Structure 1
Amino acid sequence: MTSTAPYQHILDRPFVLDLFAGPGGLDVAAHALDIPSLGIEWDKSACLTRYAAGLDTLHADVSAFRRESFESLPPEINVLAGGPPCQTYSVAGHGAGRAALDEVTRYIDELVAGASDEKIDAELARFSDDPRTGLILEPLRYAIRATRSPNRDNRPYDVIVLEQVPTVAPVWTRYAEALRDKGLPDGTKYEVTFDVLATEMYGVPQTRSRAVLIARRVGLGRPSLPSATHRAYVPKEWNRRAASTGAEVHQASLDDADGSTPERRRQDADGHREPWRSMADVLREPVGTHPGRPAPFLVRSNYGSSGVPGRRGVRTDQQPAATVTGRISRFVVFEHLNEKVVHEGARFSMNEAGMLQSFPPDYPWSGTAQAQQVGNAVPPAFGMHLLCAALGLPVPDTEALRRPWSAATEEQRAKLRSHGCGDPDACTDRCPRAQDQVPPPSSRPRRTASAKQ
Structure 2
Amino acid sequence: MRPGKIVDLFAGPGGLDVAAEKLGVPTVGVEWDASACLTRRAAGLTTVEGDVRLYGPSDFSKANVLAGGPPCQTFTVAGGGAGRRALDEVQHFVKRMVAREKPEDIKRDLSRLEDERTGLVLEPLRWALAAIDGENTEPYHAIILEQVPAVLPVWEAYAEALHDEGYSVDCGILRTEEYGVPQTRRRAVFIARWGDEEVALPSPTHRPYRKGVPREAGDQELESWRTMADALDRRSEFFVISNYGTGGDPKARGRRASSEPSATVTGKIFRNRVVSPQDVELERFSFSEAGCLQTFPRNYPWSGRDVGQQIGNAVPPRLAMHVLCAAFGWGTPSDTLLESLETWGNREASETAVVDNTSQVDVEYA
Normalised TM-score (structure 2): 0.93
User: 1:408 Cα deviation (Å)?
Assistant: 4.7
Distance 2:354 2:110 in 1: 28
Partner of residue 184, structure 2: 207
Distance 1:277 1:365 in 2: 24
| Secondary structure of 1:38's aligned partner | strand
Unaligned 5+ segments in structure 1 are: 1-10, 243-267, 285-292, 423-427, 432-453
Distance 1:168 1:429 in 2: 28
Partner of residue 125, structure 1: 111
Asked whether the equivalents of residues 51 and 408 of structure 1 are also in contact (C-alpha less than 8 Å), the reply is no
State which of 247, 265, 273 in structure 2 corresponds to 1:324.
Answer: 265
Partner of residue 340, structure 2: 400
Distance 1:43 1:89 in 2: 19
1:146 aligns with 2:131: yes
Partner of residue 203, structure 2: 227
Q: Which amino acid aligns with 1:40?
A: V
Q: Which amino acid aligns with 1:62?
A: V
Partner of residue 362, structure 2: none
State which of 8, 17, 22 in structure 1 corresponds to 2:12.
Answer: 22
Distance 1:237 1:315 in 2: 14
Larger radius of gyration: 1
| Secondary structure of 1:374's aligned partner | helix
State which of 277, 280, 290 in structure 1 corresponds to 2:229.
Answer: 280
User: 1:30 Cα deviation (Å)?
Assistant: 0.1
Partner of residue 438, structure 1: none
Partner of residue 71, structure 1: 58
Normalised TM-score (structure 1): 0.75
State which of 128, 132, 135 in structure 1 corresponds to 2:120.
Answer: 135
User: 1:281 Cα deviation (Å)?
Assistant: 0.2
User: 1:173 Cα deviation (Å)?
Assistant: 1.3
Distance 2:324 2:296 in 1: 16
Q: Which amino acid aligns with 2:46?
A: D
State which of 163, 168, 176 in structure 2 corresponds to 1:191.
Answer: 168
State which of 256, 279, 285 in structure 2 corresponds to 1:315.
Answer: 256
Asked whether the equivalents of residues 243 and 250 of structure 2 are also in contact (C-alpha less than 8 Å), the reply is no
1:375 aligns with 2:312: yes
Task: Provide the identity percentage.
Answer: 51
Asked whether the equivalents of residues 74 and 80 of structure 2 are also in contact (C-alpha less than 8 Å), the reply is yes
User: 1:151 Cα deviation (Å)?
Assistant: 2.6
Distance 2:104 2:317 in 1: 36
> Which has the larger helix fraction?
1
CA deviation string 1:368-396 (max 9, x = no partner): 01100000000000000000000011311
Q: Number of aligned pairs?
A: 356
C-alpha spacing 1:406/1:192, structure 2 compared with 1 (3 Å): same
Distance 2:314 2:254 in 1: 22
State which of 254, 267, 281 in structure 2 corresponds to 1:342.
Answer: 281
Distance 1:338 1:167 in 2: 38
Distance 2:59 2:254 in 1: 47
CA deviation string 1:280-334 (max 9, x = no partner): 00103xxxxxxxx101100000012244552110011000000001010111110
